Amino acid sequence: MDPGAFEAVDDRLTSTLDDLLGQASLDPGIVVDALFNRLVTAILSVPEPAADAVLAALPPSHHPAVFRSVASTGEHALERSWADRIVHSSDPVGTFAHFPYRENYRLLVEMELEAVRREGTEARHVLLLGSGPLPLTALCLAEHGITVHCVDHDAEAIRLSSAAFGRLGAVGVTFEHADAAAATPPRPVDVVLLAGLVGVDDAAKAAVLGGAVTHLAPGGLVLARSARGLRTLLYPPVGPAAFAGLRVVAEAIPEIDAPGTDVINSAILARPSA
């Protein structure tokens, strides 16, 4: 990308962030949806090797943490709104079919499962930490016949997701209201999946994972969702310090493992060191 292209992307990113910050609410709607689509399109337009130059050109008032805060708020509002629609719909399955990012989650989970299989682990039971109000990840895993234990510290998120899954007739998915570090799955799991927004920094993620690995079955894996390049404007990157006591064995990267898609998260896989 030439310098002019960097400036054009930065202008698009900063103006879109300003427009989102100017909204009275980040609940889904015509304007908010269009703004988030514009933001994601701008982010995905920049290949990873060019991302550092674009990030360096952002003004201090538009630090990546500001983007991530807005993205996190918008994601939670989107899931909460759709879970509520599903719960109160006369046709919950038909309503869910219109969820705008359903295919993105399916592709993300496919990328992750393939990475897990490459490491010789078969994901039959998964502990999902930070499941949120509408855990699309759990639904995608359940479609593969995988049992999932969803954990979230937000009681409302657990209430909504449990009710929505009941209306959708999902099977093999259980729910627990607890801090991620205090999860108590009903059985040992093959994969502990740490959602991208769990833990404010690597130290917090390490504290969560340190407790979660005790629930791994022999041969089990930790999978932590991360982000690379300009995608770090949507989700925080996970650094080595998050894997204290663990041995990183692989990383699934969208540009390599899910090319041509709108998958945002990368996935870092690790095993207990001992």
Domains in the chain (CATH in brackets) are 3-96 (no CATH), 102-272 (3.40.50.150)
Rounded alpha-carbon distances, angstroms, from residue 160 to 68, 79, 133, 163, 184: 24, 9, 6, 5, 20
Asked whether residue 5 carries a pLDDT value surpassing 70, the answer given is no
> What is the identity of the amino acid at 193?
L
To the nearest 10 degrees (0 to 180), the angle between helices 64-88 and 155-168 is 50
Reading phi first (left if > 0) and then psi (alpha if -120 to 50, else beta), residue 229 is in left
pLDDT at residue 20, rounded to an integer: 98
Share of the chain above pLDDT 70, in %: 97
pLDDT tens digits, one per residue of 158-191 = 999 999 999 999 999 999 999 998 999 999 999 9
The answer for residues whose C-beta is within 8 angstroms of residue 215's C-beta and 6 or more apart is 127, 183, 185, 188, 189, 192
Average pLDDT, the chain: 95
Share of the chain above pLDDT 90, in %: 94
3-class DSSP state of 115: helix
At 56, the pLDDT band (50, 70, 90 cuts) reads very high
pLDDT at residue 236, rounded to an integer: 95
Query: Is this structure's pTM higher than 0.85?
Result: yes
Instruction: Give kind and range of the element (H or E) at residue 148.
Output: strand 147-152
pLDDT at residue 221, rounded to an integer: 98
